Chains A and B, each alone.
Chain A
Amino acid sequence: MTTLKQPFRGRTDFLPSSGYRLLPFRLNRLRERQDHYVITNDVGEHVLLSKLELEDFVDHRLGTTTALYRRLKSKHFLFDERSRVAIDLLALKYRSRVARVAEFTALHMFVVTLRCDHSCHYCQVSRQSEDRANFDMTPSHAEKALALVFRSPARHLKIEFQGGEPLLNFPLVRHIVERAEALNREHGRDLRFVIASNLSRLTDDVLGFCKDHGIELSTSLDGPADLHDAQRPTKDGSSHARVMDAVRRARAMLGDQSVSALMTTTPAALERVEEIVDEYVAAGFRSIFLRSLSPYGFAARSLIRRYNVQDWITFFKRGLQHILDLNRRGYAMREEYTTVLLQKLFSPTGSGYVDLQSPAGMGIGGIVYNYDGAVYASDEGRMLAEMGDTSFKLGHLDEDSYKSMMTGDALLGPLEATVLESVPMCADCAFQPCCGADPVFHQATQGDWVGHKALSAFCEKQTAVLEFLVALLEDDAFARRTLLGWL
């Protein structure tokens, strides 16, 4: 280094001279990398280091000019006499991340009918029925639900139409959209709509309506035709062909990014992740959601028994590597679950993904208005109810007020229990800032909202995927650049 002439002072004049102090952090030993640890601070910034480095760090033995010292200081794992602003910045970052809790219930799911023309093996919330009277939402319930939508303080509101197959009750969809827009003229929220549909009934009439009202479409694509059609049976067995055709028409009318798709991992899918991803590429999708099976419903339970969480983790890793390979070859493709976790690691505001929140996203992230007027704290909560466990029913549109549902024990109980800072094992886990609580999962598998994380497939999956991601980010420069591009 060159020596500066007077009157300039040298670098050493500005180095911290005395010791440093630790800022709050958590650590996990990596399972697949001996003697290495990932440490995170309260806002999800992370550093990977060896056991020796970790010991030097906590024992205050790090030299102030070492690369590790600088890395840890920059990411607010320590501070020294040179600068105290780290504490203000950490506080600000923490506030930014938790600010979304005050903006509660952005997602409002309307189950406009339970009827469906598909009989998917993993689904517990549909009926093969023509009985509109018993399985369609009534306009009066829709009206009451809409009143609740606008009680939410969230500035951004999303109404998602669910089923069953919501397009089997399209007149109600139309009615709700028009009413919501009319009500919103007074409320002035950022209001968006999405229809979660198998798209088998995507008529030009529906498309025209979607175009006029800026409605997005979300559909299911389980992979190649044989796999998709085996898992998503219809009377004529043409679900795959129909969805591909519908996606094409929707894109032509609404734009390339108007349709998103997700898949469900069944035992039959486990060995075929590359084919599944390739099917998405062939259909022109730029993103895929590699989704594990949820243990709700008897059929799903029997399916899930045929593979364990390790199988799914292997499936996921293979899938993600394949997606990275596609990117390497020049096809920009993204995995949505990974994106959520990356946002939690790198974005100042984290991620709003309902299923990974602390406290749990139920009720305050999303809420479900069921076809029969019952209100559930989450989509999984209503699925559990179909199996007879109504723990997550907040009330009924005809009987209960907004206040009683949002402040009742059915919601506040699980919310209080799922603040991760106070959950056994989560409290000490380095991945806590990137994780969330899933009380419905633990209720279904262990009989209580919290569960024992050592026995939790949810925890196993989260830990494995996050370890995999932080190692990828560290080891593979191309993967790092690609993954950060998904933010």
Chain B
Amino acid sequence: MLISLSNGVRPLAVCSDHPFVARVSENSKLGDDEKRVTALLLRSPDATSEILPEGYRAYLFQYESTEKLRDSYVLPTTLHYLQEGDVIRVDPIRRRVRALYRRASTANFFLVTERCDNFCLMCSQPPRQQNDDWLVDELLRVIPLVDKTTTSLGITGGEPGLLGPRLIELVRAIRDALPRTALHILSNGRAFSDLPFARDLSAIRHGDLMVGIPLYSDLAEEHDYIVQAAGAFDQTVRGILNLKSEGVRVEVRVVIHGDTVERLPELAAFLARNLTFVDHVALMGLELTGFAKTNLNELWVDPVDYVTQLEEAVRTLRHARVPMSIYNHQLCVLPSALRGFARKSISDWKNTYAPECSECDVRDECGGMFASSSIRKSRGISPLREGAPQ
């Protein structure tokens, strides 16, 4: 889920010999301290008739230049979206620039590790078992550069819980640097089956923290199969219990696909009965990327074919007064009674609309679909007309 619109940059002068992070700014009059962590963005030659100030961490040109200041680069057009306040990683060796944080986005997620102890059949971000401790080191440098008015940030993986104390360190750094920013950690919850670890997270006293934890079945054997890890169900449930008992808010995330759809009503009843105290349940459509693509035949179910199960699950959760939303579903594939629960949940940088959506009256209220979903499309996709009978 990392923002990965990277492309080759062309160095103009002497470069650093290692990757670095910097905040993008067009302000050429920053103080020395700020300059050291800022990449000066130069959009056109007219704006920079004067001699460039020295001391910036890097200089990024959107046009041809003969600049010889250290770490000057010409950006490819694919990186012209970079704006004031974005935070980037510049890798001079590989000649890459990558946006780690985009100020204009409402869905900034930090990838903290690619390692995972689950191996979910539908994982959209397949794990890699290799040491990537440097990711946290880098994030600790990124966080102070993030805009203080950011409303929300996410932490994702891989499995962030595998970082252990380093996750705690990271969350504390985020709380200190961005006290008004909501933080959402996507975790499989297993690490929190260790009560002291849950306690450590709680002890940070982050003012607006939620841990989003997937639970795919009311039965251990089903959940364990879907996440391909024996014993995961028990650890995940215990993790949820520990976090809630320590006062950390928890969202349960259920991805609906071929292996979860049959028992969706039972799972809802299980949640309503056993985990009523969770703060939110998200019933989510499948993102057709990563392993979901590999296992497409087993996993793909057209949403119009699981409306009955979805309706019953929604009813059960609603009766139990568990706050609940439907994610990743286009409004037209849902029966009208469920549309009120649908959220525009697909990140702004990866959603798209079908051609027929241009005819739709509620397109603006709809989250659209994943850009990746073109490989399978619901039969239910069709423009909605306001006032027309459903």
Contact = CB atoms under 8 A, between A and B. Distances in A.
A56 to B, nearest CB: 19
Given A83-B234, A484-B315, A16 B295 contact: no
Greatest chain B CB density within 10 A among A4, A73, A84, A485 is at A4
B274 A89 contact: yes
A16 B234 CA distance: 14
A2 B270 CA distance: 27
Interface in A439-487: 481, 484-485, 487
Contacts of A484: 315-316, 319
B44 interface: no
A16 B221 contact: yes
A74 interface: yes
Given A481-B315, A485-B319, A45 B273 contact: yes
A13 B266 CA distance: 22
B220 A83 contact: yes
Contact of B294 (A5, A14, A73, A88): A5
B320 A487 contact: yes
Contact of A82 (B224, B237, B316, B319): B224
A348 B298 CA distance: 35
A110 B191 CA distance: 53
Contacts of B319: 346, 484-485, 487
Interface string A1-26: 11011011101011110000000000
Interface residues of A, number: 33
A74 B121 contact: no
Given A8-B228, A484-B316, A89 B237 contact: yes
A74 B295 contact: no
B234 A84 contact: yes
A272 interface: no
B295 to A, nearest CB: 6
A427 interface: no
B234 A85 contact: yes
Contacts of B294: 5
A350 to B, nearest CB: 12
A8 B233 contact: no
Interface in B251-281: 263, 266, 269-270, 272-274, 276
Contact of A85 (B119, B225, B238, B269): B238
A75 to B, nearest CB: 8
B219 interface: yes
Contacts of B119: 7-8
A106 to B, nearest CB: 19
Contacts, number: 77
Interface string B332-350: 0000000000000000000
B130 interface: no
B298 A4 contact: yes
B228 A2 contact: no
A100 interface: no
B219 A70 contact: yes
Interface string B357-383: 000000000000000000000000000
B237 A85 contact: yes
A93 interface: yes
B241 interface: yes
Contact of B230 (A4, A14, A74, A85): A14
A92 B241 CA distance: 9
Contacts of A9: 225, 228
B232 to A, nearest CB: 10
B384 to A, nearest CB: 25
A74 B219 contact: yes
Contacts of B272: 346, 348
B255 to A, nearest CB: 16
A15 B221 contact: yes
23 contacts: A7-B119, A8-B119, A8-B121, A8-B228, A13-B225, A14-B222, A14-B230, A15-B221, A74-B218, A74-B269, A82-B220, A82-B233, A83-B233, A85-B220, A85-B238, A88-B237, A89-B274, A346-B273, A348-B272, A481-B315, A484-B315, A484-B319, A485-B315
7 A-B pairs with the lowest CB-CB distances in the bound complex, closest first: A83-B220, A14-B225, A85-B234, A82-B220, A74-B218, A14-B224, A487-B319
Given A14-B222, A92-B274, 10 more contacts: A4-B121, A4-B295, A4-B298, A8-B121, A74-B269, A85-B220, A89-B237, A346-B273, A484-B315, A485-B319
